[in-house]
A = this chain, B = another copy of it.
Amino acid sequence: MRRDTFQAIADPTHRAILDMVAYQPLNINAIAGQFEVSRTAIYKHIKILVECGLVAIQQQGRERFCEAQLAHLSEVAMWMDQYKAFWKTKHDVPEEPENVKEKKAGKHKKKKSGKKK
């Protein structure tokens, strides 16, 4: 099971949880209540975030409050920093490469000799 910051923020649910607790700690039930899936499923997501160091848990009575520990995002930031020149100098609307359009249009299409079975 991969447990790094890149993997952690790859999951949309993880990002949603981080968005929720970024500015105010919430207990686990409060977080789970915002999602369609079960509390257990959300609990597993939170557990992963804790293992990655992106969320810290603070016990208060029988409740456990999750608070964001976003410093670990710097790992991602540092990796991206080396490529910042490739997208910061341009506008922030990325262009779609031709190959992607072809692939999305249909896999049977070839660039040159179009005979494929």
Contacts and interface: CB of A to CB of B under 8 A. Distances in A.
A75 B15 CA distance: 13
Contact of A57 (B7, B99, B109): B99
A71 B96 CA distance: 10
Contacts of A87: 70-74, 77
A85 to B, nearest CB: 5
Interface of A: 2, 6-7, 9-10, 12, 15, 18, 22, 50-51, 53, 56-57, 59, 68-92, 94-101, 103-107, 109, 111-112
Given A6-B15, A76-B80, A86 B70 contact: yes
A2 B70 CA distance: 24
A7 B73 CA distance: 15
Nearest to A8: B10
Given A9-B6, A57-B99, A73-B86, A109 B94 contact: no
Contacts of A69: 94-95, 97
A47 to B, nearest CB: 8
